[in-house]
Structure 1
Amino acid sequence: MQISFTLFIKISAIHLLEKVIIVFVLSTFFLYVNSLLIFTFFKKDYFRTTMRYIFFVHAMFCDCLFLFLAIFFLILIFFNFTMPIGICLIVCYMMEVMTFTSPLTLTAMSLERYVAICMPLRHSEISYVRRAFNCIIIIHAVSSVEPITMTVIYIASVPHHIYTSNALCQVEVFIIHTWQQHLRVVMTNVYFLVMFSAILFSYGKIMQAANRATSSNGKSAARGLKTVILHGLQLLPSLIQLWCPFVEQAFLNVDVYMYMEVRYFNYIVFMLSPRCLCPLVYGLRDEKFFMALKQYAFCGVKKVSPTKT
């Protein structure tokens, strides 16, 4: 019996190590791709003066920081490293903010596309650089509401000496009241409903405009509809990931092993996959961005015509 139990522990450790390696490799690869896209953005003046590209690179920055923090948490949890509660509080705050900034930025990008396609004559009047940066400030302010609320509640509820004590760093450490968890659910659902409504409205209007244009420009309309479908595939898991902590908490109350499996599944499907689709939708499928990206991906060896970039 003791031998069987020891063998089970070894198999479980090997299985967990395989999952950690897969997540680490995928996260590192997406970090490299996103970094290359960010580098391409800063090399061209046209990208830096266009609203949708500014939103795009902001999403890339948020995804890079999120992936870096996710790898950091993964290593801490796998090796059972602990850290002072005060430092953990700061890191978890940043992680929570990045969780909301990505889908909020995608929502802003969907509204920008709605203006560009449905109101083309007013697009240049509405979408300009200063307004893009103002929108980014608003995105970060809105993204900080839930983390700030949870942080203030935690600070007001625990003694000051606890910040120097060590613990395994994860967001659940800072949920110390039952009503605090309920408040978190309510605030997350409000985020979800607002973003879902904005996305549903903008993409519904875009698809109507694309259908009306089919008779005059079928190829362009078909490409637009494909882009809308890809946007929807990316935005849906980005919104669903806001519910993942609550689903995981329900499984944690039932079985720890099921909790680990569900958490791994959620990370791959709802956190990594949207950050994989973002370069595809907004980078590789954009002709101007793709031509510039291809030039820098080959480190200048493969020359691209200036008229194309």
Structure 2
Amino acid sequence: MSFIDQTQTNTTVEIQYLELLGIVLISTVTTLLCCVFLFINGTMLFTLRSKPVFRETSRYILLYNLLFADTVQLAYSQAMFLLSACRVTLLYPVCAAITAFNILSHITSPLTLVVMCMERYVAVCYPLRHAAIVTIRNTGLTICVIWSFSSLNAVSQLSLMLNVRFKNLQMKDFCGKESVFLDPRSNLYDKASTYSLFALAGVTVTFSYFGIIVAARSASTDKASAKKALKTLLLHLLQLGLTMSSTVHSTLLKAVYSHLDRVLAVRIQILIYICLIILPKCLSSLIYGLRDQTIRPVLMLTLSCRCRRFSIISVVPADTKNRT
């Protein structure tokens, strides 16, 4: 019996060791990938504040707002992933506040895309009035309205999340929407607000796209400008789809865990997390930056200078150590 017990103990220890090794490996890979994207997003944010042409142009100001919201979501997603991987649970009020903060930035992204689409529509369809309508002051007021509306929505959801009597403040599950949406009204409100917002964004992009197509057929419209605006709207539609992809993350996970074994489900979960959460928060804005003829040279110069500075910093201590 002692030999059998010892064998079972060794098997259990080996399984736990493999699980721990897998957690460390997955956490390291996702964190490195996330750090690379955060570095790119940070460089992009710095680029958009480095030149007067970016600080004084409405569409670049809106792009900065969009990129800032995506960067906050990326950092939040990775932090929550590491907490769940390390099996760390939070207090319900703390998790509710963090979730509400994520909702704040999550709502800001599609609203900013809506405004960016309308700005391109005005630029092509009403070129003579564009300078009077799309001003720095109006852009700043629009961004304030976006964040105010997002804050109001986040506070409303936070009040619904905290309007529940918790038997125990310490959470038994990991922090996430599903863990704090204990009141059915919270889940209903979240779905209604999210789907309504993305429906509004989709209608706006479609309306702007077809409006520019109609305007492009007129003789008074600049054909090159209209063609470029159509490509930009298609990019905004892609950005909206990438932003929307994160909303189906939980649904896909439920389907995966209900039809597959645990080991395979965990591997697919990591793949879904990278494809639907990490990549969209960087690729959309990066593609926009590389495509723009004004941003691209400044962005590439900033990236090369930062990488060169990082390599110098990493080499200098080694040289100093060798000399001593």
Residue 64 of structure 1 and its aligned partner are, at CA, apart by 1.8
Displacement after TM superposition at 1:56 (Å)? 0.7
- Higher-Rg structure is 2
CA deviations 1:224-261 (Å, max 9, x no partner) are: 55444333222212123234334545666777847755
**Counterpart among 237, 240, 248 of residue 245 in structure 2:** 240
1:57-206 to structure 2, matched below 5 A, reads: 57-158=64-165, 165=170, 168-206=174-212
User: Does structure 2 retain, via aligned residues, the 8 Å contact 1:47–1:54?
Assistant: yes
Select between 3-12 and 53-62 the one with higher mean Cα deviation: 3-12
Bigger mean CA offset, 234-243 vs 191-200: 234-243
Check the 8 A contact 2:216/2:223 in 1, yes or no. Answer: no
TM-superposed deviation, 1:17 = 4.0
- 2:64 & 2:43 partners in 1: Cα distance? 11
AA aligned to 1:242 is T
Q: Compute the displacement of 1:140 (Å).
A: 1.7
CA deviations on 1:92-145 (whole Å, 9 max, x unpaired) are 211121122122212221121111122211111111111111111222233234
Alpha-carbon distance in structure 2 between the residues aligned to 1:259 and 1:190: 31
Assess if the C-alpha contact under 8 Å between 2:202 and 2:237 holds in 1: no
Extract unaligned runs of 5+ from structure 1.
303-309
Q: Which residue of 2 aligns with 1:229?
A: 234
Q: State yes or no: 1:43 paired with 2:54.
A: no
Give the % identical residues: 26
- CA distance in 2 between partners of 1:296 and 1:9 (Å): 45
Aligned pair count reads: 298
After superposing the two structures, state which structure 1 stretch, 142-151 or 204-213, moved more: 204-213
Q: Deviations over 1:44-99 (max 9, x none)?
A: 11111111000111112112221222221122111112333333222221112112
Task: Give, in whole Å, the separation in 1 of the partners of 2:232 and 2:297.
Answer: 18
Q: Could you say which residue in structure 2 is the equivalent of 1:281?
A: 287
> Contact 1:63–1:98 (CA<8 Å) still a contact in 2?
yes
Residue 286 of structure 1: CA displacement?
Answer: 1.2
CA RMSD across the alignment: 3.4
1:293 and 1:226 map into 2 onto residues whose CA distance is 21
| CA distance, structure 1, for counterparts of residue 133 and residue 183 of structure 2 | 44
Q: Are the counterparts in 1 of residues 93 and 162 from structure 2 also a CA contact under 8 Å?
A: no
2:35 equivalent among 24, 28, 31: 28
* Shift of residue 29, structure 1, vs aligned partner: 1.1
Q: Aligned with 2:94: secondary structure?
A: helix
Counterpart of 1:106 in 2: which secondary structure?
helix
The one-letter code sitting in structure 2 at the alignment partner of 1:54 is: I
Provide the C-alpha distance between the structure 1 equivalents of 2:38 and 2:280, rounded to a whole number of angstroms: 13
| Cα pair distance change 1:234/1:273, threshold 3 Å | farther
Taking structure 2 as the reference length, the TM-score comes to: 0.77
